[in-house]
Structure 1
Amino acid sequence: MMTSYEQARRNEGMWEMDHAPYLRSRRYQGQRCDDHLPALLIITTSGASSQMSPIATSATTNGDSSPSPQHRVPLQLTGILDDIPFEEITPVIGREYTTLDVRDLLKDPQSDAKLRELAIITSRRGVVALRNQSVTPQEQQELTARLSLLSGTPEESGLHIHPVLNGQRDKAYRATGPNGEASADDTISVISSNFRKKTDDRLAQIQGGAAGEIHSDITFEPYPSDFSTLNIHTNVDCGGDTVFYSGYEAYDRLSPAFARFLEGLEGRYAQPAFQRMAKEGGFQVHAGPRGHAANVGGDLSATHPVIRTHPVTGWKSLFAVGAHFESFPSLRPDESTLLRAYLLDQVATTHAAQARVKWQDTSEGKSTLVVFDNRCVFHAATPDYFSKGGHRVGTRVVSVGEKPYFDAGSISRRDELGGERYI
């Protein structure tokens, strides 16, 4: 059954189904190897199965006259993961699985259909915590790449290379390879509290204290991230939680008049802190390409909508928040500063729009792997364990998505779900 949004799109003549088969691009292996994916199946309410329609596209615009084929009809859940137990972390953001094993999921005969479902769940819930995992960095890399591709990322987008935290600059940021060697693949970043301890005071001064921790990954790129995965495999006894903030809920809490005002704005997204760190450290920012041909150079800045439409859900989300957001170019500097501070404060202080993920004890060799969608979620680490001498290490993989856009015909999360449904 069509959602009201899909029906409206059809009535406008924009509900055009692309019947070409899905293509799998093994970008996580560093090669091109395109082949047809097996047909994905939808289990209908009657119990029968039918072939899943490929990702639909529609011709909307980026604020100019050029159509953008990545503005798609929202993807629909099939229910293929409904038999796996889960808990919603809060009513508006976050889900937790304790028995969904990533390693098994990657090898499952219905792997593509289940990964696509997990991607849609993540896009709707914002963040998904997968407990009791024992994945390698390479399996985490595969998971991230396939979540992105199966949910419709542009074919030319791949995995991101961090401009600062990469193994080309410092071997300390290289993950372990399949045979125990240091991996030369810079799309896998090692996240270590040792780096944070060295830079925390400086970053806090640059970013403005605790609220300055809030960000979405790599929004300073022309083509920013869709999904990030973070696996903490060496943990601390207490503390270090990560807080996630819903951009959907932040939008839904705006007054209609204020929302319309923000929908007409674009913002400048930049990260000069990385450039300063490179200058002070005597190294060069990674020149790219960083996951997309457009993500090149050392400028680390881009222009994106303040409110963006999520291509997987069709929902509006506040996007212009956090450490990687700089200003509103169309406003006066004083107006821009006030508005930036106001939006950040609304996100940071609205507890009902937040989910706190506690990283699971890894004493039994298991870890927590978190998947989150940077198009609709902000996050912030909590470095409250530094004074206790704790140390933790993990791996991060970030996939690159589409160029952000705002579709005036899109709706909000609350418009579709109301106050009763979680997903």
Structure 2
Amino acid sequence: MRKQDNRVQIGAWWMLAVLLTLYTLSFVDRIVISMLVDPIKQTLGLSDVDMGIVIGPGFGVAYCIFGYIFGLAADRLSRRHVIYGGVTLWSLSAGLSGLAGNFIGLLGFRAGVGAGEAALTPAAYSLITDRFPHRRLTTAMAIYQMGAKLGASVAFAVGGISIAFATTLQHQNWPVIGTMEPWQIALGLTGLPGAALALLVYTFHEPVRDATIKEKADRAPLLQFMRAERQALLPMAIGFASIAITMYSLTSWTPTYMSRQFDWHPAQYGPALSVISLLGAGSMIVKGMIVDWLYGRGIRDAHLRFFTWLLAATTPLGAVAFFIRDPWVFLVVYAIMQVVALQFVVFMGATLQLLVPPELRGQITGLFLGFFTLLGLGAGPTFTALLTDYLFRDEAKLGYSLAVTTCLTIPLAWLSLRAALAPVNAAFDRRDAAAGSVT
């Protein structure tokens, strides 16, 4: 019996490793383009606002729309098939983005990246929740969410190398395509390999769903549940969307900020940002273990409560970071913000998996991911660009725009999530009461 349990456990960890790999890949494709803003602008004749739309709404709107669609599919269909289709779609879209010849073409390809990436996390959360006990759920999800930071690290490291390598090929005459700019080659090098890696999803067995859950999924009252738990879900949605605005704005514009403010090139800032991302990835496991320990000691809202503590600790840093004129001091402060507070999805995801009935998890997760991505990635980079172009009217004042964005959104996130604590606990009470009445 113990031998069988060990096999199951090994299978669960392998599944988690595959999901982590694919999630890491998704952030590589999501972030590399932020290292190529200025050369893309020069080639296609775009503005900061144009690039903000491409990086933000171009990705975020598609992610929001397809988040629910793929979440529904994850509740009813094979989650491995859903993930495979999504990874293939975003990888091809990311790799072919280099063929875009104008704003509309680039926008369309980025929408394809957003649509494909929307398939991964709802299905991944569902798989992880089925394979790991609640006492280890946050740690398992933290390992999965490491992909965001690992992806950023790989993007900054490999992206810089790819850009340098692509520069040596810019005069190469390619069949059918002709010559290509370095940024076009770099997007192909980092994007297209994902279509092959998507096959990894078929190297693990999908957990068998309970027949009653499948039946409930076909008639699950989504709107009824959302209305009943709106006092918990609404402030959570606002809070996580607010911090997403900060996270995506910083992720999208910090490379450009370092280029403009400190005159650093990708080969200089790439390794530094890569190290910061690796530190953030490692910290996620520690934070996941802390939350699991708190949850095990009876603090049922530990996921939200612990995150609000982190937000309170880092709020002052957001007010001063972009007024620092020494690049190394800036990197230290930026690293503290990234490592401590700007990794929030694991706290949201674990709370939802514990709060939401199994037959609705994919849909609710997809809606939440779509909402915070639409406002975070959709509005965040564009809002920052609008401040730069129309309020400060100076590209050199990008740091001011990032400071304003940060100082507005982090306090709002803290207030919203603190307001969610009592309703979340009440929702847990109703869940436990319903489970007790069934047994």
Q: TM-score range by the shorter chain?
A: under 0.3
Q: State the TM-score, normalizing by the size of structure 1.
A: 0.26
Structure 1 or 2: more helix by fraction: 2
Indicate the structure whose relative CO is greater, using CA pairs within 8 Å and at least 6 residues apart.
2
Q: If each structure's strand is expressed as a fraction of its own residues, which one has the higher value?
A: 1
